[in-house]
Structure 1
Amino acid sequence: MRVRAGRPADAAGLVRLAGQVEHWFGPMVDDPGFHAAVEQQLADGSALVAVDGGGGDGAVGGGGAVVLGGLLVGREPPVCHLHWLVVDAAARGLGLGRALVAEALSRCPAGVRTVEVVTFGADHPGAVASGARAFYERLGFTPAETTAPGPEGGSRQVYRRAL
């Protein structure tokens, strides 16, 4: 497994992963706006992917690298925002999420003092099932204020880490 900057050809792999988490985040796979956002993040260099080590185009079964995880990042000093982290269900627990976050942190521009992520609120079913809150806490993030509910109506909370 390796983490690298996302490429336009990785869009299909990220959309495939989105299908695995729609029950927590709301519809994405059939949403043209989501596709456009992913494509824009890839074009802007604001997406990271974890791939299986192949060197190809990110398609599943296409002979190239398979996208096993992805992270969309916003870098606006003094804050870096981790917007959307997803790891293939079959690859969870192997350190891909940790590797994606580490790479994002290493790419924060000068002037970034804080990293923020919005994740599930404590009462959201995905908080336990996904392990997201515990995951971010293990990486040194601390719970902060609550924020607007997610598109599926579930509670959300900001997690923050000082650099």
Structure 2
Amino acid sequence: MQAVLAVRSDLPAWLRLAGQVEDLFGPLVDDPEFRAALERNVERGTALCVRDAEGGPGAALAGGLLMSVRPPRYEISWLAVSTAFRGRGIGALLVRSALHDLTAAPGTVEVTTFGPDHPGRRARGFYERLGFEPTDSVSADGTRQTYQLHLQAT
């Protein structure tokens, strides 16, 4: 499997993927702001996806990642892996693929993930294994925390 840039015909598959993670992220499928952000990312080339079984555009997604690119600051704004593909390295593949193309190093990649008191807190270990470090930025209710990865000039 490989991570590729999403195209407009992938949008229905993205929404199906989003529906699988609403228990962690809250309502997404019917949220016009999420849909608009998804469409913006697809149009500007900052939406990566892994399609199920190497399918073509519009195939079911194993995972997806949305990213904001404002060198020297980058942000992973959304990452999800289909329940059927969890534990198979899809999330790591998406993050590494997104980071591979960053050419304005040095810089910082940020992601706001689940805090220590959230049911999705396992994501914290995922980001730590990829080299991200927790910051002091934790939401007041403990459900979100920002992690950073510092890019070094090569």
Shared fold, TM over 0.5: yes
Task: Please state how far the C-alpha of 1:66 moved relative to its aligned partner.
Answer: 2.4
- 1:145 — aligned with what? 136
Q: Deviation per CA, 1:88-123, whole angstroms, max 9, x where unpaired?
A: 001001111000000100122324511110001111
Change (3 A) 1:154 1:43: farther
CA distance in 1, matches of 2:39, 2:139: 25
| Cα distance in 1 between the residues matched to 2:45 and 2:53 | 20
Question: Percent of pairs identical after alignment?
Answer: 48
1:104 corresponds to which letter in structure 2? A
How far apart, CA to CA, are the structure 2 residues paired with 1:122 and 1:147? 9
Opposite residue 32 of structure 2, the aligned amino acid is: P
Counterpart of 1:137 in structure 2: which amino acid? E
Deviates more, 1:21-30 or 1:109-118: 109-118
Change (3 A) 1:112 1:42: farther
Is the CA contact 1:121–1:146 (under 8 Å) kept in the aligned structure 2? Answer: no
Q: Which runs of 5+ in 2 are unaligned?
A: none
Q: TM-score, normalised by structure 2?
A: 0.90
Amino acid in the other structure paired with 2:40? Q
Match of 2:143 in 1: 155
Unaligned runs of 5+ in 1: 59-64
User: Do the aligned residues in 1 keep the contact of 2:3 with 2:50 (CA within 8 Å)?
Assistant: yes
The yes-or-no answer on 1:115 pairing with 2:103 is: no
CA contact (8 A) 2:116 2:142 kept: no
Is the aligned partner of 1:84 residue 2:72? no
Check the 8 A contact 1:79/1:112 in 2, yes or no: no
Aligned partners of 1:55, 1:134: CA distance in 2, in Å?
30
Amino acid at match of 2:7: R
2 CA distance for matches of 1:144 and 1:44? 29
Distance in structure 2 (CA, Å) of the matches to 1:30 and 1:10: 17
Aligned length: 151
Moved over 3 A (4+): none
Distance in 2 separating the partners of 1:121 and 1:90: 24
Give 3-state SS (helix, strand or coil) of 2:54's partner.
coil
Change (3 A) 1:37 1:154: farther
